[in-house]
Amino acid sequence: MAAFLDRRDPENIEDSAERFGDRAGGWLDVMAAAGDLHPITRACMGFHLWGLAGLGGHDDLMEAAVTASRIAASDGSGAIFAPLAMGGAGGLRVSGLPPERLAHWLDGMNSAILTATRTLDDIEAWTARAETIMAQLSGRTPVALRNTFSQWPLVSAPMAESMTGASRAAVQRNLAWMEAKGLTREVTGQGRYRMWRIDTEGMRTGRNA
């Protein structure tokens, strides 16, 4: 677990690793004892026991949430993570009695799953639309760039270069073309370090070039 979380203490790495290993071992023992619970319920349990076991800093819920999202997806479906916060942070509340926390957890996960499903539907519809609009373009860069946008929520020009293997000029030219056609939009509003994402709003409103 220490390796998975990349836990390192530059001041005293050996002592820190030993203390973390002891605390993690206790947490793992409790989680193993709850093996008959559904993975989503176990994930909630593990999330709320994380801080009590001394595994996270004060108000630091990131490691607990990441670990819980792995547990929730451990039902053999092939998923790596279960969405937790896509529908808001309601499922990550740390106050209330255990039944209330579980109810918030289930409601939050349900909301996150619905949001994730809508996002996947939007990406599928965008991909079909992009294939039609970009059919007039030749070469491998447009196809590779379209695939990149379908797999990542935000894309920068350097990232696009790395993902597609295309030159900077080719990437910049295709990014500008896709933005002009309403397929993507720049989200930073800056002249440097810009990021693009697929334009699902334009797709819903029927905006097209």
Listing DSSP states for 75-96 in one string gives SSSS-S----STT-SGGG---S
Domains of the chain: 2-82 (no CATH), 123-205 (1.10.10.10)
- For the segment 17-41, the average pLDDT, to the nearest whole number, is 84
Give the list of residues 6+ apart from residue 94 with CB closer than 8 angstroms, or none. Answer: 48, 51, 61, 101
CA–CA distance, 145 with 155 (Å, rounded to integer): 10
Q: What is the separation of C-alpha 125 from the centre of its chain, rounded to a whole number of angstroms?
A: 20
Token pair for 190: 């800056």
Buried b (16+ CB within 10 A) or exposed e, 17-46: eeebeeebeebeeebeeeeeeebbbbbbbb
207 pLDDT higher than 80? no
Question: What are 34-83's pLDDT values in tens digits?
Answer: 999 999 999 999 999 988 888 876 567 888 888 999 999 988 888 888 88
Token pair for 130: 């992009």
Question: What are 157-188's pLDDT values in tens digits?
Answer: 999 999 999 999 999 999 999 999 999 999 99
Rg (CA), the chain: 22
- For the segment 20-24, the average pLDDT, to the nearest whole number, is 75
Task: Tell me how crowded residue 65 is: count the other CB atoms within 10 A of its CB.
Answer: 19
